[in-house]
Structure formats: C-alpha cells, structure tokens
Structure 1
C-alpha cells in the first residue's frame, strides 16, 4: 500500500451526533454564502451551553466547518451532507437539529431565501412533522425578535 494516502482524516465517515448538529448549524450559516458574526456567536453559544454538547470536543468544530465547506464545493455535496447526517444522527435528535438550525438562521434578525430553502430541505430530510416544525420556527422567531 505504498504511495496511497489515508483519506479517513480528510472526510469523516463516522460522525458523532454532536458533529451532525454542528454541521447543520454551519451549513445553515453558510447557505447564503455570508457567514455572519451573529450566526457564529449563536453556534459557539449552543456548543458551549447546551446539555447535548456537554462532552463535545470543541476542536471538532473546525473539522466540521471544513467538512461542510468541502461538501458545499461539490456538485452533490448537500446530498452527501444529508447522507452523513442520516447515518450518524439519532432520530431522537432530529427536532433538536432543526431547532438549532432555525436559531442560527434567525440569529441575525433576518432569514434569507437560501436559508429558508435549506431549512425546508432539513425539515424534509429529518422528517420533521409540519406542526412541530411550525412550533420550532415560532420559538426561534420569538427568541430573536429585536425591540
């Protein structure tokens, strides 16, 4: 096997549930090609304070960001990302994932068209019930209103 490189470090094929949550938050932030400070702060705060991230290695965030950016650079990258999410995110965390994505999208006070489209795709891919999705979206909107 000389001359071959191990690509397992370049693209993780086994992600932790927390990796999946981080990847979705980064994906929603990057979806409009403009990652805003408010969105980055929201992601950092979620990882630092939510119980689901209690044992998460914060250094993995950079790896997940690079994975998302690499996938977004490929033709079928979004499908590949959702494949990784479906393989590695327990179904019980699907609504958590959607709620975190909604919070990141709403963090800067506006949700742009690319973010709306990706949220719709996340709802579909994670099989989020319409009524539950509406409640999650309303909660995010309420938390991010400005006076």
Structure 2
C-alpha cells in the first residue's frame, strides 16, 4: 500500500489525509474543498518538500478506509502513529479550513472535526480560536 511498513505515512501525508477525510465526510468532495487542499499543499511551508502527486494516493487511502466498518479508527491510528504532536494544531487548522471552504458545514463535517479535535487532544480554547480563524478566512462579502 505505502512505501514502507515501518512508516507508511509521512507527517504531510497525515495532514493531507485528514483534509481529505473532512472533505469526504459528507460523501462529496466539492471543488472548493479540493482547491483548498491543493492550495495548502502548494503554498504552506509544512508541505515544502511534499510530492503533490501523493494527494491522489491519500484520497484512495481515505476512500478505502471509509469503506471499512472501523475505517475512521484506522485513520486515527495512522495519524497517531505518524503525525508529530507539534503538528496537531496545524492538522486541526487545515481540517477546519477545508470544512469551511465551501461556505457551509454539514453535520457530518462537524462531527468529524469534533472527533479530530478529540483524537489530536486540541485544547478547547485553542480549538475555538482555530475554528474562528477558519470561519473568518472563508466569509463571503
């Protein structure tokens, strides 16, 4: 499935996987969400040496996991194993940005964001600030 069994996902793969998971949580990846993911990978320093072609591989992984009964637990296991704690808030911020990108939040997106917040152990106050920032960046005039 991945390059090595020891480290199947890079930290950047984990960030991309969470963004795709949020986008796919309502069973439809909208163009604005996909553009947000591609834009993040293209411009953010955390993705400086990341191969953008891996986005498709991560999308396949997420769709495969979402087809399994305990796929979300498996995703969180992969993230716990491969995402350094120092990137937890980055991961949550990117997930929030993708969720807010289309201007509306589906109930499934909100539930997944809540689970991500819990799994990444994001402090409630920090989470509120991250969520508010995402909302502010995606307001329409």
Interval of TM-score (by shorter of Structure 1 and Structure 2): over 0.9
> Which ranges of 4 or more aligned residues in structure 1 deviate by more than 6 Å?
none
Aligned counterparts, 1:15-94, within 5 A: 15-94=9-88
Which has the larger Rg? Answer: 1
Contact residue 39 and residue 105 of structure 1 kept, 8 A: yes
User: How far 1:14 sits from its partner (Å)?
Assistant: 1.8
Q: CA RMSD in A?
A: 1.4
User: How far 1:70 sits from its partner (Å)?
Assistant: 0.1
TM-score by length of 2: 0.96
Unaligned segments of structure 1, at least 5 residues? 1-6
State the SS of the aligned residue for 2:49: coil
What is the CA–CA distance in structure 2 between the aligned matches of 1:70 and 1:121, rounded to whole Å? 19
Question: How many matched pairs?
Answer: 140
User: How far 1:8 sits from its partner (Å)?
Assistant: 5.2
User: How far 1:13 sits from its partner (Å)?
Assistant: 5.6
TM-score by length of 1: 0.92
Moved more, 57-66 or 25-34: 57-66
Unaligned segments of structure 2, at least 5 residues? none
What is the CA–CA distance in structure 2 between the aligned matches of 1:81 and 1:31, rounded to whole Å? 13
